[in-house]
Structure 1
């Protein structure tokens, strides 16, 4: 299957970490967690959203269950930063090298702190964006967290 350069960057970065990704493309798109869940046929909670937040000390990537929302005060406490807010699309792309909806935790444009929602550990497999808003890959949560160099923390609140 032919993928865009951003997806190849994810695949190559993961391979350097010893991870072989099984990337799948969904032409209807996987831009949101719900879009991804619908395309894949899984529950939205099994989608690992990659949310870029800005802080006074720089960008932080938060990996969270698709059923949860990022809790900014908890991110501040877990990352030891201040002034956390959702990054703009431009800030997110500059920090990660990926468009919103396709942000992967591998092959990032800049080094940044990565936090992972503890709820991701509830799943045998989660689905992660692969560099574009229409590509994803499944991965065991421990492999995702280890490969991304993420710290597991209570950084989310249940949506609803």
Structure 2
């Protein structure tokens, strides 16, 4: 179901990127980097949070970690990641396949500054076995994500 939501999103946005289905899992940054023969920095991981009764996702560089102080300064609340079940329920994507594509309209998308270390990135595409390769400007345009600085290396 989740890959289909991503495909429908791409069709609606008139995006011609092909979703790559991997035999290996890309559910973690290291697995994805190995399967794609890419660096861990190129993996665009999507993290889901509850922020003041709203659902948000933050797309960050694969080697970045949430900086609690920066997060609180930006969102005025403590970082609370969604559980596995909540992530699936609120984004429509499972953990390991969570991505900024095909999300329900009420989920706000943020892009972390850490992504700017790479010209091309590999976000998941709705499944732990699905990814898409795109340039950073394409990711920003397609997702209409808001840039934030909430991570550290």
User: Does 2:109 match 1:120?
Assistant: no
Give the Cα separation in 1 of the matches to 2:46 and 2:121: 12
Number of aligned residue pairs: give it.
153
Give CA-to-partner distance per residue, 1:20-61, whole Å, 9 cap, x none: 222111121000011100000010000000000122232210
Deviation of 1:152 after TM superposition, in Å, equals 1.2
Deviation of 1:96 after TM superposition, in Å, equals 0.3
Give the Cα separation in 2 of the matches to 1:21 and 1:75: 31
In the alignment, which residue of structure 2 is the partner of 1:30?
A: 26
User: Does 2:128 match 1:136?
Assistant: no
Say what the alpha-carbon RMSD is for the aligned residues.
Answer: 1.5
Mean CA deviation greater in 40-49 or 148-157: 148-157
In the alignment, which residue of structure 2 is the partner of 1:109?
A: 104
In the alignment, which residue of structure 2 is the partner of 1:18?
A: 14
Give the Cα separation in 1 of the matches to 2:59 and 2:125: 13
**In 1, are the aligned partners of 2:2 and 2:127 still within 8 Å (CA)?**
yes
In structure 2, stretches of 5+ residues that fail to align are: none
**In 2, are the aligned partners of 1:56 and 1:83 still within 8 Å (CA)?**
no
Deviation of 1:75 after TM superposition, in Å, equals 2.9
